[in-house]
Amino acid sequence: MIVDINFVGLIIASIMASAVPLILASCGELITERSGVLNLGVEGMMIIGAISGFALMTVTGSLIIAVFGAMLAGVLISTIFAFLTQTLITNHVATGLALTIFGIGISAMIGKNFVGIPGKEFPVLFESLKDTIPLLSPILFGHSIVFYFAFALPFITSYFLKQTKIGLIVRAVGDSPESASNQGINVRLVRYACILYGGAMCGLAGAYLSMIYTPQWIENMTGGRGWIALALVVFSTWNPIKILIGAMIFGGLTIIQFHMQAIGVRIPVQFLTALPYIVTIIVLVVISRDSRKIRLSTPSSLGKSFHKDN
Amino acid sequence: MNTNLKISNVTKIYPGCVANDDVSLEFNSGKIYALLGENGAGKSTLVKILSGVVIPDEGKIYLNKNILKLNSPSDAKKNDIGMVFQHFNLFETLSVFENLIIDSDEQRENLKEKIDTIMKKYNFSVDLDVPVLNLSAGQKQKVEIIRCLIRSPKVLIMDEPTSVLTEQETSELFLSLKKFSEEGILIIYITHKLKEVMQLCDEVAVMRRGKLVSVSQINNENIESLANKMVGQDLKTIKKKKENTSSEQLIKITNLNFTSEDPFETNLVDINFSLNRGECLGIAGISGNGQSELFQVLSGEIISNKNSIEFNKNFIGDLNPQERREYLMAFSPEDRLEQAAIPQMAIFENVALNNFKSSNFFNNGLINESKIKEHSKKIISEFNVNTNNIDLKSQFLSGGNLQKLIIGRELITSPDLLICFNPTWGLDVGAINYIHETLIKINEQNKSIILISTDTDELLKLSDKISVIHRGKLSKIMNAEDVTSEKLGILMGGGN
């Protein structure tokens, strides 16, 4: 059997494309969690981003307004979460779950008018280079700007956390909000900022789905990707580079099992569908086994409310 | 330059408690001041006010005659007031250097140079690149001190700095503090340890129930006079009567080993000892040398080889704490609010957690609340716990009352052996005295104690036999009369 090498390249590119929303949402949630806030509303923020992006694109016709509008929508919905958990000191878990339910509901309501409307073509970069190098060309060239941003993001996030002062402050707040507060750091402000940033990234992840990956609006189109993104953050032990690995494995197995189903491999469909979830978690658990590193990268105050009293 | 710090009529009221009642004090650089008082006397509130963590309801603070507005910790920092908190304000998972740079405005290289200069000058040695959680308590404190010194403070406040230090580390700290004082830093030293005040300070202010009760030169005071001022009544001195202990063996540990998978824990190597009825075995050591692992192995939190622990002629090494309790062992762990009691649960519920087959706290899986409450009331009255409300959540008990409750809960079933780990950690003189009396009483009733403690004075006072744990190994068992605190200090440091 002769395998066209460019076909392999295309499969890899499609795996990467399917990993994009996971990487964006996970890296956003990672910053939120590193500051000690557990926001389970990722799925809700993504779907809000998806409908906002698609609706703004249809209404205004401008892709730029649509993309930034989706991020803004993510910021706005996460502001609700931030206000509730940081100002009114509500429970992170319950508030995050409510946010997801709210997001799914409101997106379906807004989305009613946009079902069946075709999307717009999103411009891609370096298209002229698409046929220059075998195998690598389809992987490297001809993708949207969001695609390139997503693959740079884990490295940017890692650099931000390790090398910048603000990154250090975020980690410090996640480690011990009490100490940070006694050091004169405004814990609430840092956590607000991290929550809003997480919201923006989830909004962008949603916009990628409805505007680039499958350019149309379908109700509930995030299809649990928000939950996978959340799981990636935890199983990567809050390490952005491992998020990239996890998202690629998940995306890869999702694509491959589709092909296996298409070819008619005699494995139960249910097992094939479950495969990406199982394998991703196993791989991440195995590569993150070092208990010392887990201790050092786990935000100790994760999910705990901080209330400064005088 | 001289520094003058003045506290003028400061009052801070919390719901149900006046933490500071019209306190006025004045400090001048060149001296070391002690702020002395029992737990809950209001010392910590006062220094939190000075460091901007707590805002007073009334009163003013002056630094060199200028009024200070301290609305946040950064205000205190800006005004050159440095503070080392009792519970370290460090970020455990960040490296030492990251901890230091986080509140500094300086460039990496400049800061590194500055830290190097400070460490050389005061003979500190701390690895800047390791995460703080790998440091010993003494090293963590040095990081806190360096953090203050980077800002060249005029005032340095130390809140109970020795509660987690070894004797060696304490004397090192005292040397540094004296050096700082000579260099013109005004030092305020908060403590409830009288010996330290006598050793270190020039002037002492005593607080009791939120009020300032006296300010005096240290030369005019002695340990007894300060203790009486602090407690507000005359304290009796307690002493252990040397009695003939029986020769009947109660517990025997043979070749007990524990290898941990957690790199932050200490392995126990070949522990062997035995203890007779009516005896108290003290185990000394610098914290982090395997004490908590030893406690867990002895209590059954970590299960070991069945034959390694022989208790009352039964082999019980493979039993869990509850099963060991049935054989009349009792335990008082170090961390009162995390291990010994559940903070959010009521007093009587915490009592019920220690259930026995014989206690009848539960009937067919249902809670027998009246029985438990009756039992709790008995503990509270017999062990002097200062509350009538057994529905109170245990987190609202003071350290001393909580410890009395825990010891009471353990002792009311009259066990043959009590194993306790730092039972008087962080308690005030009154409570320490009570706990010590109680422990002596147990021995007099021909019951045994294993006392794991980092407080050598306590060990010398209460033990019949003493051993030292160092890096998970136990020294040979010595008779307490043959031991001095110097000798213990050498063994604790790993010497012979």
Q: Does residue B268 sit in the same domain as residue B381?
A: yes
Q: Does residue B254 sit in the same domain as residue B168?
A: no
Backbone angles phi, psi at B20, to 5 degrees: -135, 125
Residue B241 domain flag: no
Nearest CA in chain A to B133: A296
A-proximal residues of B, 5-64, CB under 8 Å: 51, 53-55
Amino acid B248: pLDDT: 87
Could you report the per-residue pLDDT of A24-71, keeping only the tens digit for each? 999 999 999 999 999 999 999 999 999 999 999 999 999 999 999 999
Best to test chain A binding among B79, B93, B94, B96 (most A CBs inside 10 Å) = B93
Q: How many domains does one find in chain B?
A: 2
Amino acid B40: pLDDT: 72
- The CATH number of whichever domain residue B343 belongs to comes to 3.40.50.300
Q: In CATH, what is the architecture of A5-297?
A: Orthogonal Bundle (1.10)
Question: Domain boundary residue among B184, B203, B231?
Answer: B231
Nearest CA in chain B to A171: B94
Do residues A84 and A95 make contact, with C-beta atoms less than 8 angstroms apart? Answer: yes
Q: Does residue B127 sit in the same domain as residue B181?
A: yes
Distance from CA of A296 to the nearest CA of B (A): 5
pLDDT tier at A2, thresholds 50, 70, 90: low
Amino acid B357: pLDDT: 67
B263 touches chain A (CB under 8 A): yes
**Which amino acid, residue A158?**
S
Backbone angles phi, psi at B70, to 5 degrees: -115, 90
Cα–Cα separations (whole angstroms), residue B325 to A298, B206, B291, B320, B395: 36, 43, 20, 9, 25
Out of A179, A297, A310, closest to residue B89 by CB: A179
Nearest CA in chain B to A34: B93
Could you report the per-residue pLDDT of B433-470, keeping only the tens digit for each? 889 999 999 998 899 999 999 888 889 889 999 999 99
CA–CA distance, B214 with B204 (Å, rounded to integer): 8
Domain spans in chain A, listed from the N-terminal domain onward: 5-297
Out of A175, A184, A291, closest to residue B103 by CB: A184
Q: Does residue B86 sit in the same domain as residue B212?
A: yes
Amino acid A33: pLDDT: 97
A218-235 mean pLDDT: 92
B101 vs A contacts (CB less than 8 Å): 165, 168
Q: Does residue B280 sit in the same domain as residue B226?
A: no
Placement of tokens 């009570």 in the chain: B434
Distance from CA of B393 to the nearest CA of A (A): 20
CB neighbours of residue A11 within 10 Å: 16
Amino acid A243: pLDDT: 95
CA–CA distance, B438 with A245 (Å, rounded to integer): 60
Q: Does residue B187 sit in the same domain as residue B281?
A: no
| pLDDT at residue A1 is higher than 80 | no
CA-based Rg of chain A, rounded to a whole angstrom?
Answer: 20
Higher pLDDT, B168 or A154: A154
Cβ distance of B89 and A178 shorter than 8 Å: yes
Residue B243 domain flag: no
A290-298 mean pLDDT: 82
| Poorest-pLDDT segment among A273-282, B200-209, B259-268, B310-319 | B259-268
Residue B236 domain flag: no
Mean pLDDT score across all residues of chain B: 87
pLDDT tier at A310, thresholds 50, 70, 90: very low
Q: Does residue B195 sit in the same domain as residue B163?
A: yes
Distance from CA of B19 to the nearest CA of A (A): 12
Could you report the per-residue pLDDT of A182-200, keeping only the tens digit for each? 888 899 999 999 999 999 9
CA–CA distance, A282 with B194 (Å, rounded to integer): 57
**Which amino acid, residue A55?**
A
What DSSP designation does B312 have? T
Here the tokens at position A296 are: 């050092």
Amino acid B144: pLDDT: 92
A184 vs B contacts (CB less than 8 Å): 72-74, 77, 103
Q: Does residue B209 sit in the same domain as residue B266?
A: no
| CA geometry: angle B74, B77, B81, nearest 5 deg | 140
CA–CA distance, A43 with A274 (Å, rounded to integer): 19
pLDDT tier at B331, thresholds 50, 70, 90: very high
B4-31 mean pLDDT: 89
Question: Domain boundary residue among B231, B263, B283?
Answer: B231
Out of A183, A295, A296, closest to residue B73 by CB: A183
Q: Does residue B209 sit in the same domain as residue B292?
A: no
Cβ neighbours of residue A244 closer than 8 Å, sequence gap 6 or more: A19, A23, A151, A154
Q: Does residue B219 sit in the same domain as residue B264?
A: no
Do residues B72 and A274 make contact, with C-beta atoms less than 8 angstroms apart? Answer: no
Nearest CA in chain B to A172: B91
Amino acid B318: pLDDT: 92
Residue B480 domain flag: yes
Residue B240 domain flag: no
Q: Does residue B306 sit in the same domain as residue B358?
A: yes
Could you report the per-residue pLDDT of B337-360, keeping only the tens digit for each? 778 888 888 888 888 887 666 677
Distance from CA of A179 to the nearest CA of B (A): 5
Cβ distance of A172 and B102 shorter than 8 Å: yes
Q: Does residue B317 sit in the same domain as residue B369?
A: yes
Nearest CA in chain B to A291: B262
Amino acid B430: pLDDT: 80
Could you report the per-residue pLDDT of B143-165, keeping only the tens digit for each? 999 999 998 899 999 988 887 77
Amino acid A27: pLDDT: 98
Higher pLDDT, B357 or B31: B31
**Which amino acid, residue B401?**
N
Question: Domain boundary residue among B231, B263, B280?
Answer: B231
**Which amino acid, residue B381?**
S
| pLDDT at residue B238 is higher than 90 | no
Cβ distance of A184 and B72 shorter than 8 Å: yes
Which residues form the domain of B42?
Answer: 4-231
Percent of chain A surpassing pLDDT 90: 65
Q: How many CB pairs under 8 A join A and B?
A: 63
Nearest CA in chain A to B130: A296
Residue B239 domain flag: no
Here the tokens at position B183 are: 């260099």
| Poorest-pLDDT segment among A164-168, A282-286, B438-442, B460-464 | A282-286
Residue B166 domain flag: yes
Residue B334 domain flag: yes
